[in-house]
Amino acid sequence: MPITKVQPFIHEDDLAEGWKNRVLAHRLELLITSCIIVVITLTLGIGLGVGLSCVGKFRCGSSSQCISTLAQCDGVVHCDNEEDELGCVRLSGRSSVLQVQRKGEWKTVCSEDWNNWLGISACKQLGYSRYVESFFISLTSIEQDLQTTLVSINQSQSQVIKLQNAATFSKTQCSSGLVTTLKCLECGSRPQYNARIVGGNISKPGQFPWQVSLHYKSEHLCGGSIITSRWILTAAHCVYGFEDSSLWAVHVGLTEQLIHGAQSLTVESIIHHARYRPRGLNYDIALMKLARPLVFNGLVQPICLPNYGEEFMEGTMCWISGWGATEEDGETSVVLRSAMVPLISTKTCNQPEVYKGLISSLMICAGYLEGGIDSCQGDSGGPLACEDLSVWKLVGATSWGSGCALRNKPGVYTRITKSLSWIHKHMEKEEARSTPDLSKDN
């Protein structure tokens, strides 16, 4: 199957036209939405005397229902799909500091009264099926903005719960002087990679053990990244319009296409961001849930997701990898290729001679302004991986670009730190579905 239907790489002469099309598309959506809102507002206003404004409130995703932000993560379900009680836990900063949202406010969790049952609960709320361990670090060692609003959690019973359902105590200081950090997954390591083997851009076994090849109708179409034993992260444009999971297969642990011995797994479900549009460039992210868990063996390993608020500085050297074409409009590669590229600031990438203001806060650029090294067709959805303190983190997912390796046209990637809430909410929803009774550990 040709890859042009998921072609994210835009030619220079298409940029202006593409931008006009996106604006027109959004204007049409806005017009339709406005008409619907006016009709509904008039109807309800006449019949019920109520308005539909959600300004300053939380909107339930499955309906037009609005609830107070104080009702979000308060331990009581208000939305039909329970969305107001999802995404109430997050890991923040470089140290993976645990925070819980309680009545619409994020609070850093102190170490006192913490136990492993709470750790299991927190990991399940992040969408992980397992819990590794908790650590306690000094409050003064974490980012300043994480030190101000604090809470301790008390749950004496040995059961799995939602953290916002437990007894919480707001604090101005942690009495222990320590805060809780959490680890739900062993990730970001390369146990089978021999770093002494260097040279060339052909990847070695185990060098990128999180890299997957997504096959549609038995042909490589896109790349992706292993983020848990059941979840693959890729680009929305890879799967948009191709959501029939029975036509997809995920190939892991390979450096050459169709090599024997690599694991091939079927896909249970596909979720792309609801706000993604094929003519747009934002929200280019999707998740694939595997029908059965992966077996991690050194050649197949998950990459760590970054934490909320974590920043990756301009100039940081990261790696891109994939089976994409080695030149624009060329054939996809049989072998897994990789390259080291520096991160580029949004300010630089939005300059007139580069992408002319097209780069939003949901994107991150990486590459060389002089050209020569870049991702290309067939690399879509694959990882932009950066090493931080010997741990590899998924900073971006290959999204789009103008041509391949052209001057002033670096690769553009979906910025994962801006998509964490979306990722964890869907993982949490699926984890709760597989273990609906949170009072019992699986």
The four Cα atoms 250, 310, 101, 139 give a dihedral, to 10 degrees, of 130
Determine whether 388 is an active site residue: no
The contacts of residue 362 (CB under 8 Å, 6+ apart) are 282, 283, 414, 415, 418, 419
Give yes or no for a contact between 48 and 42, defined as CB atoms under 8 angstroms apart: no
Q: What is the DSSP letter of 325?
A: B
CA 187 to chain centre: 15
**Nearest alpha carbon to residue 266 among 290, 298, 283, 243:** 290
Determine whether 284 is an active site residue: yes
Q: One of 215, 220, 237, 272 is an active-site residue; which one?
A: 237
Alpha-carbon gap, residue 205 to 104, rounded angstroms: 45
Alpha-carbon gap, residue 143 to 301, rounded angstroms: 29
Tokens of 97: 């500091």
Burial of 232 (0-12, 13-18, 19+ CB in 10 A): buried
Q: One of 84, 95, 129, 284 is an active-site residue; which one?
A: 284
Residue type, 350: N
Q: CA angle 56-57-58, nearest 5°?
A: 140
Distances (CA, A) of 99 to 60, 95, 111, 398: 22, 12, 12, 29
Sign, CA dihedral 409-281-417-120, equals: negative
Q: One of 380, 399, 402, 419 is an active-site residue; which one?
A: 380
Pairing type for strands 263-272 and 219-226 reads unpaired
Alpha-carbon gap, residue 63 to 59, rounded angstroms: 8
Determine whether 380 is an active site residue: yes
Burial of 361 (0-12, 13-18, 19+ CB in 10 A): exposed
Which residues, listed in sequence order, are joined to residue 387 by a DSSP beta bridge?
392
Distances (CA, A) of 389 to 56, 94, 198: 40, 10, 21
Pairing type for strands 363-366 and 411-415 reads antiparallel
- What positions carry a catalytic annotation? 237, 284, 380
